[in-house]
C-alpha cells in the first residue's frame, strides 16, 4: 500500500499536494472541490498589505509610488473597489472555508511593513486558520537603503508575528538575497516553522500603443521548478524548517523531484488554473503509479534522498557544475 502522507508545519497531510494561494480559493465551493480532487491543504488567496492600509485610509502612499505586483496579484496593484476579499470579508471567508472542508486551511498575508500585520495575523488565527503564510516582498527603490537593513525588517516582522500567534508560521520568500542560506537560517531562528520557495513576481510591461505601464500575467511552467529545486536541495540539510516548493509544479514528476530534494509539500496553482482542479486527482494517480513501479512505499522514504547532503556529487548543486553544463552544451554544437 503506497503511503503518500507527509508532515508540514506540524500538520499531518494525506499527501504532499497543496493548493497554493491563487484566485481559486476565493470561492468556498472551489475550495471544497479542491479537497474532493485531492488537495491535502489549501493556502487561501492573500490578504494584501495595501488592503489593510486602505481600511485605515493610508493607501495613497502606496498607490503613488512605483512597485511591482505580488505573486498572486492579477493587476499592477490590487483593484480594491472590485476586490471581493477586504480584511473583514477575508476573515469571514476563512471561517466559511474552515467549516466547509476537513483539510487544513492556511491563511496568507502579503506585504512587508509591520503596520497592522501583527494584528491581522492574530485575527486570522482567531478565524480558525490552521497555519499562516507570510508572503514577504518589498521592492527597494531607495539607493540609500542597504540590504542588511531590509533583511532586518523581514526578521523583525517574522519575530513579532511569531510572538503574537501560536499557529504554525511559514514564510514565502523570493530568491533575491545575496546570502540566501544565512537568511533562511535567521528566519527559522526568528520563528518561521517553514519556508516556501519561491514567490513569483509578475513584472510590468510597456504598452507601446497606449504608452502605459501594464501588468503581465504568465502562468508558471515545469522549467520554473529548477530554481526552487536547487535551493531546497542545498538548504534542506542545513536549516531547521519545513520546506514547501512552489512555482513550476505541474505533474507527478515535478512533485517527486520536490520530495527528493527535501521538500515536505509541493504547492501548485498554475496547473489548476490552466487545466482545472481535477488535475490534483490525476497527479496523485501518477504519483502512486510511479512509486509502485519504482518500489517506493512512502513519500517519507524518498524525502531528502536527492538533497545536496545525500547525493554522491554535492557540487552538482553549486557553481562547480556550471562549467560542466556549459561544456556539455558545447559538445552538442555542430
* Chain segment 275-290, per-residue pLDDT in tens: 999 999 999 999 999 9
Q: What pLDDT, on the 0 to 100 scale, is given for residue 164? A: 93
Q: Single out the residue of 39, 40, 38 nearest to residue 8, CA to CA.
A: 40
Q: What pLDDT, on the 0 to 100 scale, is given for residue 68? A: 40
φ, ψ (nearest 5 deg) of residue 58: -120, 20
Whether residue 84 is predicted with pLDDT greater than 50 in this model: the reply is: no
CA distance 201 to 220: 11
Please answer whether residues 168 and 7 qualify as being in contact, where contact means their C-beta atoms are separated by less than 8 angstroms: no
The band of 318, judged by pLDDT with boundaries at 50, 70 and 90, is low
Comparing 88-102, 187-201, 310-324, the range with the smallest average pLDDT is 310-324
Q: Give the chain's count of helices (H) and strands (E).
A: 13, 13
Q: What pLDDT, on the 0 to 100 scale, is given for residue 25? A: 97
Q: What is the mean pLDDT of residues 247-252?
A: 97
Mean pLDDT of the chain: 86
CA distance 222 to 70: 20
Task: Say if pTM beats, i.e. exceeds, 0.95.
Answer: no
Residue 13's SS3 state is strand
Q: What pLDDT, on the 0 to 100 scale, is given for residue 48? A: 77
Q: What pLDDT, on the 0 to 100 scale, is given for residue 66? A: 39
The secondary structure element, H or E, covering residue 30 is: helix 28-37
Residue 241's SS3 state is coil
The band of 215, judged by pLDDT with boundaries at 50, 70 and 90, is confident
The band of 42, judged by pLDDT with boundaries at 50, 70 and 90, is very high
CA distance 200 to 225: 11
Helical axes 180-190 vs 147-164, angle rounded to 10°: 30
Whether residue 9 is predicted with pLDDT greater than 50 in this model: the reply is: yes
Q: Single out the residue of 18, 65, 26, 68 nearest to residue 44, CA to CA.
A: 26
Please indicate whether residue 241 or residue 71 has the higher confidence score (pLDDT): 241
Q: What pLDDT, on the 0 to 100 scale, is given for residue 322? A: 55
Q: What pLDDT, on the 0 to 100 scale, is given for residue 308? A: 82
Q: What pLDDT, on the 0 to 100 scale, is given for residue 319? A: 60
Q: What pLDDT, on the 0 to 100 scale, is given for residue 321? A: 56
Please answer whether residues 72 and 49 qualify as being in contact, where contact means their C-beta atoms are separated by less than 8 angstroms: no
Q: Could you give the domains of the chain?
A: 6-309 (3.20.20.70)
The contacts of residue 119 (CB under 8 Å, 6+ apart) are none
Whether residue 5 is predicted with pLDDT greater than 80 in this model: the reply is: yes
Whether residue 54 is predicted with pLDDT greater than 60 in this model: the reply is: no
pLDDT by residue (tens digit) across 117-159? 788 899 999 999 999 999 987 777 889 989 899 899 899 999 9
Q: Single out the residue of 274, 286, 273, 221 nearest to residue 247, CA to CA.
A: 221
Whether residue 80 is predicted with pLDDT greater than 50 in this model: the reply is: no
Q: Which residue has the cell 492556511?
A: 106
Asked if the peptide bond before residue 20 counts as cis, ω within 30 degrees of 0, the response is: no
Please answer whether residues 224 and 235 qualify as being in contact, where contact means their C-beta atoms are separated by less than 8 angstroms: no
The band of 83, judged by pLDDT with boundaries at 50, 70 and 90, is very low
Q: What is the mean pLDDT of residues 52-64?
A: 45
Whether residue 74 is predicted with pLDDT greater than 90 in this model: the reply is: no
Please answer whether residues 260 and 304 qualify as being in contact, where contact means their C-beta atoms are separated by less than 8 angstroms: yes
The DSSP code sequence of 42-90 is: EEPPPEEHHHHHHHTT--HHHHTS--PPPTT-SSSS--GGG-S--HHHH
Percent of the chain with pLDDT over 90: 66
Amino acid at each position: 500500500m503506497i503511503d503518500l502522507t507527509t508532515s508540514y508545519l506540524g500538520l499531518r497531510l494525506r499527501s504532499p499536494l497543496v493548493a497554493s494561494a491563487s484566485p481559486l480559493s476565493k470561492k468556498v465551493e472551489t475550495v471544497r472541490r479542491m479537497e474532493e480532487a485531492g488537495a491535502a491543504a489549501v493556502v487561501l488567496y492573500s490578504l494584501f498589505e495595501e488592503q489593510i492600509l486602505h481600511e485605515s485610509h493610508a493607501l495613497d502612499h502606496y498607490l503613488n509610488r512605483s512597485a511591482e505586483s505580488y505573486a498572486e496579484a492579477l493587476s499592477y496593484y490590487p483593484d480594491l473597489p472590485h476586490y471581493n476579499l477586504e480584511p473583514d470579508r477575508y476573515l469571514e471567508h476563512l471561517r466559511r472555508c474552515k467549516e466547509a472542508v476537513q483539510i487544513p486551511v492556511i491563511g496568507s498575508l502579503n506585504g512587508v511593513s509591520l503596520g497592522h500585520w501583527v494584528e491581522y495575523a492574530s485575527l486570522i488565527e482567531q478565524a480558525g486558520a490552521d497555519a499562516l503564510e507570510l508572503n514577504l516582498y518589498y521592492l527597494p527603490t531607495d539607493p540609500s537603503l542597504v540590504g542588511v537593513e531590509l533583511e532586518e525588517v523581514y526578521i523583525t516582522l517574522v519575530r513579532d508575528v511569531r510572538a503574537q500567534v501560536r499557529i504554525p508560521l511559514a514564510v514565502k520568500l523570493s530568491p533575491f538575497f545575496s546570502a540566501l542560506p544565512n537568511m533562511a537560517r535567521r528566519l527559522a531562528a526568528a520563528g518561521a516553522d517553514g519556508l516556501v520557495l519561491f514567490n513569483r513576481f509578475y513584472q510590468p510591461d510597456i504598452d507601446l500603443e497606449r504608452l502605459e505601464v501594464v501588468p503581465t500575467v504568465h502562468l508558471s511552467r515545469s522549467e520554473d521548478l529548477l530554481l526552487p529545486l536547487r535551493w531546497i536541495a542545498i538548504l534542506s540539510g542545513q536549516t531547521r524548517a519545513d520546506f514547501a516548493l512552489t512555482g513550476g509544479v505541474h505533474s507527478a514528476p515535478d512533485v517527486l523531484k520536490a520530495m527528493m530534494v527535501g521538500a515536505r509539500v509541493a504547492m501548485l496553482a498554475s496547473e489548476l488554473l490552466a487545466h482545472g482542479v481535477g488535475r490534483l486527482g490525476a497527479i496523485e494517480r501518477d504519483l502512486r503509479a510511479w512509486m509502485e513501479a519504482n518500489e517506493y512505499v512512502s513519500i517519507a522514504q524518498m524525502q531528502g534522498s536527492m538533497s545536496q547532503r545525500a547525493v554522491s556529487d554535492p557540487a552538482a548543486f553549486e557553481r562547480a557544475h556550471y562549467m560542466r553544463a556549459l561544456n556539455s552544451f558545447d559538445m552538442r554544437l555542430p
